[in-house]
Amino acid sequence: ARTRDNFTSKIDGILSFGRKVDDELFEELEEILILADVGVSTTEKIIDNLKEKAKEQKLKDAEKIKELLAEEIYDIMEAKETSFKITQPTLILIVGVNGVGKTTTIGKLANKFKRDGKRVLLVAADTFRAAAIDQLEVWAGKNNCEIIRHEEGSDPASVLFDGIKAAKSRNVDVILCDTAGRLHNKKNLMEELKKIYRVAQREFNEGNIETFLVLDATTGQNAIQQAKIFKEATDVTGIILTKLDGTAKGGIVISIKSELDIPVRFIGVGEGIDDLQEFDSEKFVRALFE
Amino acid sequence: MAFESLTGKLQDIFKKLRGKGKLSEKDVKEAMKEVKIALLEADVNFKVVKEFINTVTEKSLGQEVMESLTPAQHVIKIVNDELTALMGSKESKINFSDKPPTVIMMVGLQGSGKTTTSGKLANYLRSKGKSPVLVACDIYRPAAIKQLQVVGSSINVPVFSMGDKTSPVDIAKASIDFARNNNYNVVIIDTAGRLHVDEELMDELKNIKDAVNPDEILLVVDAMTGQDVVNVAESFNEKLDIDGVILTKLDGDTRGGAALSVKAVTRKPIKFIASGEKFTDIEVFHPDRMASRILGMGDVLSLIEKA
Ligand SMILES: Nc1nc2c(ncn2[C@@H]2O[C@H](COP(=O)(O)OP(=O)(O)OP(=O)(O)O)[C@@H](O)[C@H]2O)c(=O)[nH]1
Ligand SMILES: Nc1nc2c(ncn2[C@@H]2O[C@H](COP(=O)(O)OP(=O)(O)OP(=O)(O)O)[C@@H](O)[C@H]2O)c(=O)[nH]1
Ligand SMILES: [Mg+2]
Ligand SMILES: [Mg+2]
C-alpha cells in the first residue's frame, strides 16, 4: 500500500534479523511510542490491540508486527475529512498556549492561501504580548496582504469585529485572526477567548468559521489538556502541529485524535514562510520510528 | 487528580501489608510499576525513569516501614526524597563576576520564553541592587528586537541594539563595551530561538560565547516539553557547557517532568522558575516543591513531613 513499504523499512532496525514475537519485542515498540510522546494510556491501548491481533493471526514473524503497528496508528490518525480547502468566505481563528507558533503559522497560511488565489486579511487580536502586533505586521508585509490592527492593550474582540466588517466590504476570502497565547487553565483568558469566538459567530454567521489549535510538537502530555479545554471554549476544528523540523515527534496528536477526534490539518517545519505542509498521516507515522 | 491515582494505587498494593513490616521485593516491584507510570505521565523521559526506578527499587528493598507511616506513604517518601536529591538538594544562584559586567546569555528553543525571561531576570536583578542592560541579539525573528525594546521600556531597563544587519557576535561584543562605558554591571543577552539540530545557529551561539565569555549561560526550557527535552538539553550543554536552566510556563497545569530529565542529562542546576507573563513572575528554584509537583501529591507529602 502506497508509502507503507517506506514506513516498514524504517523500523527494520528493531524488527529484522528474524526476531521472535515475544514480550521484549513489544516492550521495545512501547518504548518507541512513549519516547514519541504518545503517552502511557494510548500506547498501552495500541500495544494491547497489537498483541491481541498478533495472537489471533498466530503471527510468529516480527515483520508482520510492524505492518500491524503501522495500521493501528493509521487507523487512529486517518482523517475522514478530505484536505482543507477554502470554498466560501472563511474565518480562521488561531488559538493556543504561549509560544507555540501561532503568529508565524498565520504568516505561512496567508502565503499558502494567497498562492491559491485567495484574498487574505490578517486580524491582530493579540493586543497583549509585547510587539505581537508588529510581528504580525511584518508577516502582512511579507505576504503583501491587508491587516486590521488596534493599539496594544485594546479589546481583542473589537479588533476582530472591525476585521470582519472590513473583510465583508472588501470581498476577502480568508480572515486569519491571531490571538494572544494563553494557558488553558487561566479562566479569565479563556473567557476572553470565548468572547472573541462569540463575536466571530455573531458577525460572521453566513461564512465558514474554523478554529485551529496550534500545538508545539515538543510538548508532552499537557497537550491533551490544552486540546480538551480549547475545544470546549472555541469548538476547535483542526490542529496545526508546529516545530516538526526538530527531533520531537509530536506523538501526542495520536492521543488527541483518539480521544477527541480533532484532525491535524497542517504541520510547521521551520520558521520560513514556505515551511508549512498539509498533514500527511503516513509520513507522520513513518517519522515516529525514524 | 494524579495524586489520587498514584496514592490510591499504592495503597491497594500494600493493602495486605497492614501495619508494619519490611517492604518485600514483590510489593516494591508492583509499587514501582505505578511510580513508573506516574513519572511517564508527568513527561519524565523514558530512559531517566528507568534509571530512577532502578535506584529507588534498590533503596526500598528490605526497608523497615516507619512507625508513623503506612507502607504506601513510606514508598512515596523514598521516591520523593530521591527525586528531590536528583533535582539538586539546594538552591543555586547566579554567578556574579568579580570584574563587572557580569554577562548572562539566554539560550533555548523557539518560543521557550527567552525574551520574556530576560526581562524578568533584569527586573529581578535590579531589585537586588544591580544595574542591568538587555542586549538584542535576535536579528532573525520578525519584531524580536521591538519585543525586547517594549519589555525593556516597561521595566525601565535600557536595551542595547544594533538593528538586524549586524551579526549577533558583533552585537554581543559591542554590548560589553557599552555596559562598561555606561556603568551597567549586568549584561543580559537575548538570543534567537533555535533548534538544537541547527548546526549553523548552534555555532553562532558558540561564537558569541567565545567572544564575550559569559559568566552564566542559561538554557530556557518550557516546562510543558515532553520526551525530547533530553535531546535538546544534551545538545545545548555539549555545545555550550551551560551553567544552569530556567524552567518557564509553570503557571500551567503541566506536571513538569522535564525538570527531572534536564537535570539528569546535564547535571546542571535549575536556577529559576517562571510562572506567568508579568515581569515579577520569576523565582528561585526549589527542588522539593518541584518533586512534589511531578509526583502530583503535595498533600501526601506535607503529611509525610509532619510524620
Ligand atoms: N523551528 C520552528 N520554529 C517555529 C515554527 N513555527 C514557529 N516557530 C518559531 O517559534 C517561535 C514562536 O513563534 P510565534 O509565532 O511567535 O508563536 P506564538 O504562538 O504566536 O507566540 P505567542 O503569541 O507569544 O503566544 C518563533 O521563534 C518562531 O519563529 C516551526 O514550525 N519550526
Ligand atoms: N504563561 C506564561 N507565559 C510565558 C512565560 N514565559 C514566557 N511566556 C510567554 O511565552 C511566549 C513566548 O515567550 P518569548 O519570551 O517571546 O519566547 P522566546 O524564547 O524569546 O521566543 P523566540 O525568541 O521566538 O524563540 C510569550 O507569549 C510569553 O508571554 C511564563 O512563565 N508563563
Ligand atoms: Mg503570537
Ligand atoms: Mg525571543
Taking only the tens place, the pLDDT of each residue in A136-175 is 999 999 999 999 999 999 999 999 999 999 999 999 999 9
Q: Which atom of ligand 1 is nearest to the CA of A178?
A: 20
Exposed (0-12), middle (13-18) or buried (19+): which is A80, by Cβ within 10 Å?
A: exposed
A247-275 pLDDT, tens digit per residue, is: 999 999 999 999 999 999 999 999 999 99
Per-residue confidence (pLDDT) for residue A141, from 0 to 100 = 98
Copy the grid coordinates of residue A237: 476544528
Per-residue confidence (pLDDT) for residue A15, from 0 to 100 = 53
- Helix pair A40-56, A62-77: axis angle to 10 deg: 130
Chain B touched by A185 (CB under 8 Å): yes
- The sign of the torsion formed by the CA atoms of A33, A35, A36, A38 equals positive
Chain B touched by A260 (CB under 8 Å): no
pTM of the model: 0.95
Copy the grid coordinates of residue A1: 500500500
Bridge pairing between strands A276-278 and A264-268: antiparallel
Helices (H), chain B: 2-13, 25-41, 46-60, 71-86, 114-127, 144-155, 168-181, 199-212, 229-240, 258-266, 287-295, 298-306
pLDDT at B173 over 70: yes
Per-residue confidence (pLDDT) for residue B199, from 0 to 100 = 97
CA–CA gap between residue A180 and residue B162 (Å, rounded): 28
Q: Report the pocket of ligand 2 as residue ranges, CB < 6 Å.
A: A 98-99, 129, 181, 183; B 108, 110-117, 138, 141, 144, 192-193, 248-249, 251, 274-277, 281
Per-residue confidence (pLDDT) for residue A11, from 0 to 100 = 54
Q: Which of B115, B137, B279, B283 to mutate to test the pocket of ligand 2 (most atoms within 8 A of CB)?
A: B115
Chain A touched by B228 (CB under 8 Å): yes
Comparing CB atoms, the residue among A186, A220, A247 nearest residue B197 is A247
CA–CA gap between residue A11 and residue A4 (Å, rounded): 11
Number of residues that make up chain A: 290
CA distances, A19 to each of A30, A286, A289, B129, B253 (Å): 16, 21, 18, 65, 42
Non-local CB neighbours of A42 within 8 Å, separated by 6+ positions? A33, A254, A255, A258, A259
Per-residue confidence (pLDDT) for residue B304, from 0 to 100 = 64
Higher pLDDT, B160 or B307: B160
Per-residue confidence (pLDDT) for residue A67, from 0 to 100 = 80
Bridge pairing between strands B159-160 and A208-216: unpaired
CA–CA gap between residue B158 and residue B253 (Å, rounded): 34
pLDDT at B297 over 80: no
Per-residue confidence (pLDDT) for residue B52, from 0 to 100 = 94
Per-residue confidence (pLDDT) for residue A13, from 0 to 100 = 54
Q: How far is B262 from chain A (nearest CA, A)?
A: 14
Per-residue confidence (pLDDT) for residue A64, from 0 to 100 = 83
Residue of A nearest to B232 (CA): A247
B36-85 pLDDT, tens digit per residue, is: 998 999 999 999 999 999 999 998 887 887 777 777 778 888 888 899 88
CA–CA gap between residue A245 and residue B191 (Å, rounded): 20
Copy the grid coordinates of residue A209: 468559521
Non-local CB neighbours of A191 within 8 Å, separated by 6+ positions? none
The mean pLDDT value for B242-264 works out to 96
- Lowest mean pLDDT of B26-35, B105-114, B151-160, B178-187, name the range: B26-35
The label of the residue with cell 487580536 reads A125
CA–CA gap between residue A127 and residue B19 (Å, rounded): 59
A61-112 pLDDT, tens digit per residue, is: 887 887 889 889 988 998 666 789 999 999 999 999 999 999 999 999 999 9
Per-residue confidence (pLDDT) for residue A18, from 0 to 100 = 65
**Which of B226, B221, B235 shows the shortest CA–CA distance to B272?**
B221
Work out the percent of chain B whose per-residue pLDDT is above 70: 91
pLDDT at B200 over 70: yes
Per-residue confidence (pLDDT) for residue B60, from 0 to 100 = 86
pLDDT at B2 over 50: no
Residue B74 forms beta bridges with which residues? none
β strands within chain A, DSSP E: 90-95, 120-125, 146-148, 174-179, 208-216, 238-242, 264-268, 276-278
Band (pLDDT 50/70/90 cuts) for residue A1 is: very low
Give contacts of B 33-62 with A, CB under 8 A.
Answer: 37, 40-43, 45-46
Per-residue confidence (pLDDT) for residue B228, from 0 to 100 = 97
Copy the grid coordinates of residue B227: 520526551
Bridge pairing between strands B216-222 and B102-107: parallel
Q: How far is B194 from chain A (nearest CA, A)?
A: 9
CB B276 within 8 A of CB B242: no
The label of the residue with cell 524488527 reads A15
Mean pLDDT of chain B: 90
Band (pLDDT 50/70/90 cuts) for residue B138 is: very high
The mean pLDDT value for A18-46 works out to 91
The label of the residue with cell 509530536 reads A250
Exposed (0-12), middle (13-18) or buried (19+): which is A42, by Cβ within 10 Å?
A: buried
pLDDT at A7 over 50: no
The mean pLDDT value for B243-268 works out to 96
Q: Which atom of ligand 1 is nearest to the CA of A104?
A: 15
The Å distance, Cα B240 to ligand 3 centre, comes to 29
A178-229 pLDDT, tens digit per residue, is: 999 999 999 999 999 999 999 999 999 999 999 999 999 999 999 999 999 9
The Å distance, Cα A107 to ligand 1 centre, comes to 11
Q: Examine the predicted complex and report whether its ipTM is higher than 0.90.
A: yes
Higher pLDDT, B32 or B6: B32
**Ligand 1 close to Cβ of residue A181 (< 6 A):** yes
The Å distance, Cα A157 to ligand 4 centre, comes to 26
Band (pLDDT 50/70/90 cuts) for residue B298 is: low
Per-residue confidence (pLDDT) for residue A71, from 0 to 100 = 86
**Which of B209, B164, B158 shows the shortest CA–CA distance to B184?**
B158
CA–CA gap between residue A122 and residue A100 (Å, rounded): 19
Per-residue confidence (pLDDT) for residue B21, from 0 to 100 = 72
